[in-house]
Amino acid sequence: MRALLCHQFSGIDGLVVATDAAAPQPGPGEITVRVRASGMNFLDTLIVSGKYQVKPSFPFSPGAEIAGEVLSVAPDVSRFKPGDRVCAFTYYGGFAETCSAKAAFAWHLPDAIDDVVAAASLITYGTAWFGLADRAQIRPGETCLVLGAAGGVGLAAIQVAKKFGAHVIAGVGSTARMQICRDHGADECIDYSTADFRYQLKLLLSGRPLDVVVDVVGGSVSQTVLRQLAWRGRLLVIGFAAGDIPQLPANFVLLRGIDVLGVVLDGLFQYEPDRAAQMMADLFSAIASGALKPPVTEVLGLEAVPEALVRMARRQAHGKRVVRP
Ligand SMILES: NC(=O)c1ccc[n+]([C@@H]2O[C@H](COP(=O)([O-])OP(=O)(O)OC[C@H]3O[C@@H](n4cnc5c(N)ncnc54)[C@H](OP(=O)(O)O)[C@@H]3O)[C@@H](O)[C@H]2O)c1
């Protein structure tokens, strides 16, 4: 089969398109899927460099979320049959014509959601929904600051927070990215790359409580925003795109009654399958009804993936890119 392959942890530069890659067979608890679309995620840039917590054996294809048609199922899998339309969180293997997936991490797709939209939404919208609706229990009228707001999880979080009635401030790394966030529903925007970000955030809030922060950036920005959270504020720890894992001041957590909440989508799928199934049903229904509109900014072939991953790593991309292997 055709696949974009990683032969060693040498980063994006080492990726090559193969035409004779071995197609996977379903192991215990797995299905194989003919990939019609595969979403691009920040984790693709990490996994090919050996910097992600999952380290596949070589050669492997990156590509962490897929949509397509079930080709085969392991004997111990009863939830799916060949021909079913599904999407799945796979960690890797998605930038290929066929991919295997854990059945527990796969979901039947409603007819109203096409493959490209499904591949653009499982990880980003799943994470945003789990974080905001479940972990943070966000309420109408609360103020939510989304960091990395023009990225995949960021734009999803803007839309999900708006859907739940929050007032949304989009945090971005340059003023040029603010309009993208406004187009996706942000009420206000702020640039966290400025030296006086802390002061600017205080000015913007002008006494209003900051209730929830969606943090995919990490580093010093997380430390700054934690100090602005209101009593019973919630910090959603989702990712560290800036590279540094923040050291958070426990005295602020204590004095403000802050909840620091870890949000990891595969954890929900693995440990709470019934809750995950309900969440995915709610999410698909919101997408199918048009209440959420996943932003597909590019649809690419396998050959174009390395260049698009470089742009993502350099903060030159926004929204979501989808690959059609
Ligand atoms: N916990 C989970 O289940 C889960 C699920 C999905 C993603 N994640 C994590 O969440 C993070 C974001 O993922 P994503 O897919 O939304 O990525 P993305 O589309 O690339 O967005 C990341 C955003 O972070 C900002 N950023 C700030 N400093 C950066 C830096 N040094 N390098 C790159 N970007 C930087 C960028 O915006 P500006 O340029 O405007 O600052 C960018 O838009 C990643 O760390 C990912 O691993 C976690």
Residue spans of the domains in the chain: they are 3-109+295-323, 125-265
| Nearest-angstrom CA–CA distance, 319 and 117 | 12
Residue ID of nearest Cα to ligand 1 atom 43: 151
Q: Write the single-letter amino acid at 273.
A: P
Ligand 1 nearest-atom number relative to CA 263: 1
Give 10-residue mean pLDDT values along the chain (325 residues): 98 97 97 98 97 96 98 98 98 98 98 97 98 98 98 97 98 96 98 97 96 97 96 98 93 96 97 98 98 96 98 93 97
Ligand 1 nearest-atom number relative to CA 265: 3
Pick the CATH number of 125-265 from 3.40.630.30, 3.90.180.10, 3.30.360.10, 3.40.50.720: 3.40.50.720
Ligand 1 nearest-atom number relative to CA 266: 3
Question: What per-residue confidence (pLDDT) applies to 93?
Answer: 98
Find the residues whose C-beta lies inside 6 A of ligand 1.
41-43, 123, 127, 148, 150-154, 172-174, 177, 216-217, 238-243, 263-265, 312, 315
**Separation of CA 10 and ligand 1 centre (Å):** 21
Residue 273: cis peptide before it, omega within 30 degrees of 0 = no
**Separation of CA 131 and ligand 1 centre (Å):** 15
Question: What per-residue confidence (pLDDT) applies to 193?
Answer: 97
Ligand 1 nearest-atom number relative to CA 172: 40
Please choose from 184, 217, 235, 245 the residue to mutate so as to test ligand 1's pocket, defined by most ligand atoms within 8 A of CB.
Answer: 217
Residue ID of nearest Cα to ligand 1 atom 23: 148
**Separation of CA 71 and ligand 1 centre (Å):** 32
- Identify the CA nearest to 176 among candidates 185, 161, 188, 189: 189
Pick the CATH number of 3-109+295-323 from 3.40.50.261, 3.40.1350.10, 3.30.70.360, 3.90.180.10: 3.90.180.10
Cβ neighbours around 202 below 10 Å, total: 14
**Separation of CA 112 and ligand 1 centre (Å):** 28
Please choose from 12, 40, 41, 42 the residue to mutate so as to test ligand 1's pocket, defined by most ligand atoms within 8 A of CB.
Answer: 42
Tokens of 5: 């392959």
Residue ID of nearest Cα to ligand 1 atom 21: 151
Question: What per-residue confidence (pLDDT) applies to 314?
Answer: 95
247 φ, ψ (degrees, to nearest 5): -95, 115
List for the chain the helix, strand, coil content (%; round to 5).
35, 25, 40
Question: What per-residue confidence (pLDDT) applies to 90?
Answer: 98
